[in-house]
Amino acid sequence: MNGADRLCDVLLAHGVDVCFANPGTSEMHFVAALDRRSEMRCILGLFEGVVTGAADGFGRMADRPAATLLHTGPGLANGLANLHNARRAHTPIINVVGDHASYHLKFDAPLTSDIESLARPMSDWVHRIAGPDDVEASVAAAWKAAMSLPGVATLILPADAAWGESAAAPVQRRALPGLARVDQHQVRAVAKALREAPRGRAGVLLGARALRADCVAIANRLRGAGVRVFGEMLMGRMERDGTRAHVERIPYPVDAALNLLGDVDVLALVGASAPVAFFAYPGKPGALTRDDCAIAPLAGVADDVRQALEALAEELGAKTAPPRHARRILPPPPSQGALTDEALTAIVATLLPKNAIIVDEALTSMRGFFEASRNAAAHDYLMVCTGGAIGAGIPAAIGAAVACPDRKVIALQADGSGMYTVQGLWTQARENLDIATIVFSNRTYAILHAEMHNVGVNQFGRNARRMLNLDEPALDWVRIARGMGVEAGRAETCEEFTGLLKGALSRRGPFLIEAVI
C-alpha cells in the first residue's frame, strides 16, 4: 500500500474516524485513500477556518481528535486563527497539512512555504513525515501528542510520502501513558497555603478538564473548608447543571475581574493559568490578582486534575459537599416588546433543552448568559474564542454536532464574527446537522465600540464608524442562510423570537434565527 493508505489505516486504528477537509492538488493521493475507507467520515469546509474550527468543536466534545486536511502553507495559514483557539482550549486535533513532494521543494514553486514556521506558534507539536515508511510512526506520535498534551498536533505530509509505497505490516495502536499524578508534597503545600488564608479569602481556579462535572463536584467540597471556586474567563468546555455548585467565572471587563478577585489572598490553579487581563489598558494592571496574592499551582492541563482535587479536598478535610440546593425556578422571560440583550438572554436560558450544547461566540450581546443560565437545564457550555480569535462559532458548532449527533447544539453568534466563517452554514446544511444558530444582529462590532470607550475615546468620527459598523449595507442573515441551504427566520420582538426558537428546538436539522437588536 502507499503512504496515504497507511496514514488512513493508522488514523482509524487510533479511533480517528472524522476528517474535516479542504484539500488541494498535493493531497489527492490522501483524498483517494480516504475514499477507499467508508468508515472514515469526510466533511468538506469551504474555507480552512471552518475546517480547523470544526475540528476544535469536535475535539472539545468527543475528547478525542478529528483529523483536518489542509492544502500546503497558504491553506494552513487560512486556518490558523481557529487553531490558535484550539491550542488555548487544549483541544486534541491531528492537523494534516499537505506539501509538495520533498524533491520538488528546491524549485521554490509558487505554493512553497515554510510550513513548520507557520504551524509552530499555533501547534503544540509539529512533525514532517520523512517518507512512506515513516508514516505509521509519525501518525501514531501525532495521536499521542494530541491526546496526552492535550493539544494541536500538526503533521506535514509531503506528496511523495503519500504516493510512495509503504511496508504492509499490520498497524499497531500505541497505548497512551496514564495521566501524571500530582505529588503529595505539592498537595500539602497548596493545602497549607489555602488553610492559612482567612476564611473566604482563599480560592481555587479551575480550567480545562477541571471544569467537567466530576471535578466541579469535588471542588464543591472545598467550599466547606472556606475555599471559593472560580472558573477561567474563557472556558473551553464546562459541564453545567443548576443543582451543582456554581463556579464563579472571571469576567472579561478588567474592573469587574479586579473586584471579584480583590479579596483573594491565595489562589490555587487546577488546569488553569494565573488570571490576566485580556488587553493592557492605560493605568490598569495586567494581572487580575493583587500583587501580594499568592499563586499556588496544583495541577497542569496534562496532569490528573481529578486526582489533584480529590487529594486537596482530603488534605483540607473537606470530605463531603455542602447540601445541594434545588434548582431555582427561572423567572418567566418577557413575552412581548422589542428584543434586547437581556430579553434574549432570559428567553434562551428558559427554553434551553436538557443536554444541549451551547457554543458561545455572542461576545457582547449575551455577556450575561453564563450567569443567567446557572439554573437552566443541564448543558455543556463552550466559550469558543479561547484564544481571542473571532470566527470560531459557526465552525465549532459543526464539530460539536458531529461529535454529539443526539444532542441539540445552540450557537450564540455575533453578526460581525459570524461573517468570518459564514461558509460553515453550507456545511451545516450539507451534513444536516442539528444546530440552531442565533445571530445577534446589532449591525456593529459592538465589542470594539466598548474597547474604544475603554481607551478613552467617546466621540466617533466617520472613519471610526465605517470601521466599526456593519450597516452600510446591512447584512441580511435570512437570505445569507437560505442561500447556503439553511432555513431561517428574522425576529424583531420577543414574541417573534420565542416562536422561532421553540420551532427550531422542536425539529432536527439546521435553522438560523436573525435576532435584530
Q: Would you say residue 147 lies in a domain?
A: yes
Return d(Cα 131, Cα 133) in angstroms, integer: 6
Total number of domains constituting the chain: 3
Cell of 297: 499551582
> Do both 8 and 156 map to the same domain?
yes
> Do both 357 and 305 map to the same domain?
no
CB-CB contact of 161 with 134 (8 Å): yes
* CATH code at position 205: 3.40.50.1220
* CATH code at position 413: 3.40.50.970
> Do both 275 and 419 map to the same domain?
no
> Do both 159 and 22 map to the same domain?
yes
Q: Which domain holds residue 85?
A: 3-163
DSSP string, 103-130: GGGGG--TT---HHHHHGGG-SEEEE--
Strand order from edge to edge, sheet including 93-99:
41-44, 18-21, 66-71, 93-99, 152-158, 125-128
Question: Which of 299, 315, 331 is where one domain is finished?
Answer: 315
> Do both 73 and 123 map to the same domain?
yes
Q: Would you say residue 188 lies in a domain?
A: yes
Burial profile 105-126: b = 16 or more Cβ within 10 angstroms, e = fewer: eeeeeebebebeebbeebbbbb
> Do both 283 and 361 map to the same domain?
no
> Do both 44 and 126 map to the same domain?
yes
In this prediction the pTM is 0.94
> Do both 68 and 199 map to the same domain?
no
Cell of 335: 413575552
Strands 202-206 vs 266-270: parallel, antiparallel or unpaired: parallel
Q: Would you say residue 351 lies in a domain?
A: yes
> Do both 260 and 126 map to the same domain?
no
What SS3 class is residue 254? helix
Q: Would you say residue 445 lies in a domain?
A: yes
Q: How many residues does the chain have?
A: 517
Other C-beta atoms closer than 10 Å to the C-beta of 273 total 15
CB-CB contact of 67 with 27 (8 Å): no
Spell out the per-residue pLDDT of the chain, length 517, in tens.
Answer: 999 999 999 999 999 999 999 999 999 999 999 999 999 999 999 999 999 999 999 999 999 999 999 999 999 999 999 999 999 999 999 999 999 999 999 999 999 999 999 999 999 999 999 999 999 999 999 999 999 999 999 999 999 999 999 887 878 887 887 899 999 999 999 999 999 999 999 999 999 999 999 999 999 999 989 999 999 999 999 999 866 567 999 999 999 999 999 999 999 999 999 999 999 999 999 999 999 999 999 999 999 999 999 999 999 999 877 766 555 566 788 888 999 999 999 999 999 999 999 999 998 778 889 988 988 999 999 999 999 999 999 999 999 999 999 999 999 999 999 999 999 999 999 999 999 999 999 877 667 767 777 777 888 888 887 888 888 788 999 999 999 999 999 999 999 999 999 999 999 999 999 999 8
Q: Would you say residue 176 lies in a domain?
A: no
Question: Which of 315, 332, 360 is where one domain is finished?
Answer: 315
Q: Would you say residue 170 lies in a domain?
A: no
Q: Would you say residue 105 lies in a domain?
A: yes
CB-CB contact of 381 with 358 (8 Å): yes
> Do both 91 and 208 map to the same domain?
no
What SS3 class is residue 248? strand
What SS3 class is residue 477? helix
Q: Would you say residue 173 lies in a domain?
A: no
> Do both 301 and 386 map to the same domain?
no
Q: How far is CA 380 from the centre of its chain?
A: 12
What SS3 class is residue 255? helix
> Do both 440 and 391 map to the same domain?
yes
